[in-house]
Structure formats: C-alpha cells, structure tokens
Amino acid sequence: MKNLAKTVCLWRYLSLLIVAIFCHQAIRAKTWTLSDTKLEIRFDDQTALLSVTDKRCNKVWEQAPLKDQFKVTNTVQKGNSLQVRLSGKYTFDVNLVLTEASALEINLTGDAKTAIGELGYPSAFITPDKNYYLLETDGEGLLLPVDDQKYPLGNGITYSCGGGLSMAWMGVTDTKFESGYMAILETPYDAALRTKRENGLITFSPVWIESMGQFGYSRKVTYHFFDRGGYVAQCKTYREYIWKKNSVITLRDKQKRFPAMEKMIGGVQIYVWDKAREVDFAKELKSSGIEKALILWDANHTPYPVKNYDQFLKDLGYATGGYELFTDLKMSDTATYKVDPDGPLRFAHTVYPGKFEQLAARKKDGKTYFNQFGHTSCPLAIRPEIYRKVESKLKEYPHETYFIDVYLANGLFECYSKDHPLTRQQFVEAVVKNHQIMEDKYNQYLGGEWGAEYANAHVAYVHGMMTLQRTWWGSGIEKPGTIYYTGDWKSNPRPTQMTGSRVANETYLKYSINEYTRVPLYELVYHDAVVTSWRWEDGNQHTPEIWWKKDLFNILYGSAPLWNLDRERWEAYKNTFIESYKRVCPWLQQIGYDEMVSHRFVTEDHKVQESVFSSGKKVVVNFGDEDYAWEGKTIKAKDYITIQ
C-alpha cells in the first residue's frame, strides 16, 4: 500500500510539474503590439514573425515562416519601440520602431566581428492572393503579376544589373493600384531584396550580406504601408527619402554648372561608327532636321574622327562626348609592352602595360573578379590611370561629356588587396570620387551604364535603364545563326552588335516591351535628375518591327531615344530616323527638366496610358491597334496626344 501511495503521489507531482511548465510557457508566450491611428504591428515572440494591420483599409499583412529559425531570448518594450534579442544561426538584436510617420523601422545590430554569410531577417510578407503586382526595381520598372511563373527572379543584390536592384527598394501593390507596402534598404551596400515564390505567389524579403566576411555594422530596413496611391505613392515616398540621402540635384542645377548640357536635354543620343564619324555626316544629320543630339564615339574602334571633330560638332550645335571605361583589365597587361602614342588605337581603353597586378581588385582568396569582358579593376587603384587617360584624350578631343561604362551596372565589389582594400561601401565612395574628379578637374558632365542610383548626384544621363535587363540577357539573343541574335564585335569599325538589326524574341516582347507590365518607377523618382535611354545594343532602331513602340515609351516616360549609326544604317532607314526624331524629341524638349509627378493606366488593358509632368504638361499614349476616344479627343492607334 505504501508503494502504491508513493506512486500516486509521484504521478500527482509530475502532473502538477507538467501543468506548471505549460502554464509558464503560456504566460511567457506573448504577442507584443505597436500601434497608432494608422497601423497595428504585432510581434510573436515564439515565431519572431510580424503581422501588420493597416487600419485605414483593414488589410492584414502576415509574414511567412523564417528559413532560418531564431529563438527570442529577450524582449523589452518602450512605447512604440520593441527591443528583441534573437539567437540561432547567429545572435543579434532587433529594434522595431513604429515611427511618428507610421513607418516600421527595423534595425539589426550584432557583434561586428561575427562571421556571417547571409542573414535573412525579417521574413517576407505573404502575398494574400493573385490580385497583386510586385514592383520590380531591377531596372526602369516592372509590374510583375505575383502569379507569374516564368519571369527569371533575380538575386536582388543592390546596384547590379545582373538580377539586382537599380534602386534600393521594392514594393507590392494591389491590381487597383491602391493598397500595398514597400521596403527601403537604408543600409544598401551589403544587402539584397530577395524575391521568391511562396505558395506560388511572388514576394520578397531583405537579406543582409557579410561585409569583409563579418556582420560589420548595424543594418536597417524601413517598411511603409499604403491604403491608396499604388506605385506612384511608393515612388514618391522613396524619392523624398533618397534625394536627401544621396544629395541628388535636378538637371537644371547640374546644367548651371555644365551649360553644355542644354544641347543634350530633349535630344537623341547617338553612337557613331565608321564613316558616320565624318564631319560631313554630322552636317547631313543637321540638314535632315536632327536639331538636338548628343554624339558619342568609342575609342576602342577605328577610324578615329579628325582631331578638331568636337569643335565641328559644337559649331553645329551638337553636344559632344566620348565613351570611356575604367573597370576592365586584360591578362596581356601582366606584361610590359609599348603603346604607340600616335597609333590608330592610341586611346584604347583596356591598355595598362605591366600594371595588371597593382590595378586588379582582389577577392579574399587573392583571385580577381572576372567576366567575359575581363578582370575588374579597383576604383581606388585605377585613379592615377584616369588622370593619364583623360588628360591625353582631351588634348586631342575636347569633349563636353564622358559616358563612363560599367561602373553603374556591374555591381559592388570588395577588394582585399593589402595596398587598396575596400568594403562595398568604400567601393561606392571610390566610384563616386572618380566621377567627382571627372567633373571637378576636367569640367565634364557624365553619363553611365544602366543607372545604379548611388551616383545620381554626379550623372546627367544613363544608357540602359529603358532596357529591362532580366529579359534581355539570357533570353536567346546570344545565339548566333538566329533572327534574334544581338550580333558580335568581329568588325572593329562596324560591330554588328551596334550597327545591325534583329527580331525581338518572345521573352523580350512579353516583358521588356510589354505595355501591360512596364511601369516608369525610375522616372517617377529621378526624371528631373537623370535622362534615361535604352542600352546601346538595344537602341530604338535595333528591332525595326517595334521601333514605333520604343518611340512611344520614350514619349510616355520622357526618356531619350538612342541610335547607333554608321553610314549604311542611316541610308537604309533615313526617313524613319527623321520621322522618329520629329515624333519624339520636340515633346522631350518641353518636359526634359520636369519631375514626372504621376503616371496611370487609362484603360484596363493598359493600352492607353497617361504621364503628367511638373510643368502641368501631360501626354496620353495609345499602344493599341485601334483609335481611342479620350476626353473629347481621338488618339490614333500607335500614337499619342499632348495636353499643354
């Protein structure tokens, strides 16, 4: 009997202990709340997940489970601020703040010396259903239906045209263009907004990347939630933030410093090749009605223009410029060799005899960064070569502007060289400094490839933003022997990649040039700061069957046409070039300095769209095959009207 009693007592004790433990866990488990008149933010200290209720429209945004599990070990609330300690793969602190402006700021801090690879926190918000778009900022802008299953989602790394972000934000909006949210990477240089398909619907979340192998410094992302305004409201929220942060100035302010810019604003941007580099050709352009143009040429290709070429162009009223790049190194430069200072390629770009080792950016293992164009230089180490190259060329060709290739497209690199080490942020600072040198020392206004925004205070135009990179590269254009082939560089004077033509493939038509999914996110942020255009391999004339459509996008977005001309291409399409110029550029000259204040889809099929500019001028474009009646006016098929 005694043993039985002991057994019963033991079971009672264990039962009470289990109940006590359960009650302790239930008491400990808690949902913490931050709230104001617009939002209620709830944090679950068992899952480390958030839910956000937008009180203005009764919409709830829930987060998906984290890929890496973290345990909440401490939580302290003070007003609308919540301090959380998370432990798991890494240990770090998270500070959640609901600001007075109803934004959700999330700061991550940790031991600076902690070795990390990638840290994914916070988690992605679940897209509620298919009636939403992802606002894709991996170029000019794309309305990506969240149920799309074919778009090649990128890595979301900031400032890389190879699947990364041109601007350090991304968003989601409903198909009515009202409610949604956006995330701004306030510490963007070692970060990404990674897209993924969650239960068949696209969403995104921030990923923090190591800085020189370590956590390094505090990381910050800020979320804004919207009950109205759609993508326009998100762009304007970002504009207000980023212009202040990056000290962006308007085109008019840039022109005060560089008056020659006036000849570029509202004109066509032209790369000339072979016999199109002759002065007589420029005179023919002028006599044909091409009044405003920026004329550029690449010194890697012969023949060079006559030595007083720039002055001839200036006399015709054209803007004059040269192509340049400071990023690519060749293995031939590991050896010393002689360069003919008077030779036909005397200003070729990738020529640094015997200097490869001292100029190359280095990975942690000492190897170089390499792609199909060569090895990447360190922007700090290359600086003395910039002085040498630019000074020698300007003596012979006194340009007004330089287009600097690669820097604003190729991403950010760490350099582990003991002589010129750089974090990614220091890489950015070095690139910006190189731009400032070109401005300050050589009085050049500048252009860049693609358009990574971090240098937008120092560039006036960018080539490639109108071309959506993710559905350009890798879409089939690289396959020789097809009608879609982009061409090659075999002919030095007339590379077919520049002077040839091709047919747009299915992927390009579905995404890159589709009026239903394209949207001018970049223009809504930067139109009055930077002039955008197409890639130089993807100019208006490269795909003749959709030339008209590229022109209409230039008109709608207020962006510049881009042509590649040799004498043969001009003669073949002369009338179309002239018609294209007269169709597009007079309008651009009216709104070239304006902010794009709004854009909207007039019709449900997005065939008719409207852009409004800060001068009060409007344009309505009809991409459709039928005329459209609009406010008492008729917009012809594949045409547009302007409202003054």
- The predicted-structure confidence for 594-632, as pLDDT tens digits, reads as follows 999 999 999 999 999 999 999 999 999 999 999 999 999
Strands 293-298 and 268-272: parallel
Amino acid making up residue 183 = A
Mean pLDDT, rounded, for 198-205: 96
Which class for 101: exposed (0-12), middle (13-18), buried (19 or more C-beta within 10 A)?
Answer: exposed
Q: Kindly indicate whether the domain formed by 32-245 is annotated with CATH number 3.10.20.30.
A: no
Percent of the chain predicted with pLDDT > 90: 93
Mean pLDDT, rounded, for 147-169: 94
Q: How many helices (H) and strands (E) does the chain have?
A: 13, 33
pLDDT digits (tens, 9 = 90+) for 167-188: 999 999 999 999 999 999 999 9
CB proximity list for 456: less than 8 A, separation 6 or greater = 246, 248, 526, 529, 530
Domain boundaries, the chain: 32-245, 251-639
* Closest residue by Cα to residue 473 from 521, 447, 511: 511
According to the model, what pLDDT value does residue 12 have? 54
Residue 298 has pLDDT above 70, yes or no: yes
Residue 449 has pLDDT above 70, yes or no: yes
Percent of the chain predicted with pLDDT > 70: 95
Tell me the C-alpha distance between 177 and 175, whole Å: 5
- Averaged pLDDT score across all residues of the chain: 95
CA angle at 260 for the pair 258 and 266, rounded to the nearest 5°: 115
Tell me the C-alpha distance between 135 and 146, whole Å: 10
CATH fold match for the domains 32-245 and 251-639: no
Which class for 75: exposed (0-12), middle (13-18), buried (19 or more C-beta within 10 A)?
Answer: middle
Tell me the C-alpha distance between 277 and 282, whole Å: 8
Tell me the C-alpha distance between 452 and 563, whole Å: 22
Tell me the C-alpha distance between 282 and 318, whole Å: 9
| DSSP code at position 561 | -
**Residue 142 has which token pair?**
């794309």
pLDDT digits (tens, 9 = 90+) for 395-426: 999 999 999 999 999 999 999 999 999 999 99
* Closest residue by Cα to residue 228 from 413, 412, 59, 406: 59
Mean pLDDT, rounded, for 197-210: 97
In sequence order, the β-bridge partners of residue 621 are 609, 640
| DSSP code at position 309 | H
pTM: 0.95
Tell me the C-alpha distance between 285 and 293, whole Å: 9
According to the model, what pLDDT value does residue 21 have? 37
Task: State the pLDDT confidence band at 17, using cuts at 50, 70 and 90.
Answer: very low
Pick 251-639's CATH classification: 3.10.50, 3.20.20, 3.10.150, 1.10.10: 3.20.20
Task: State the pLDDT confidence band at 2, using cuts at 50, 70 and 90.
Answer: very low
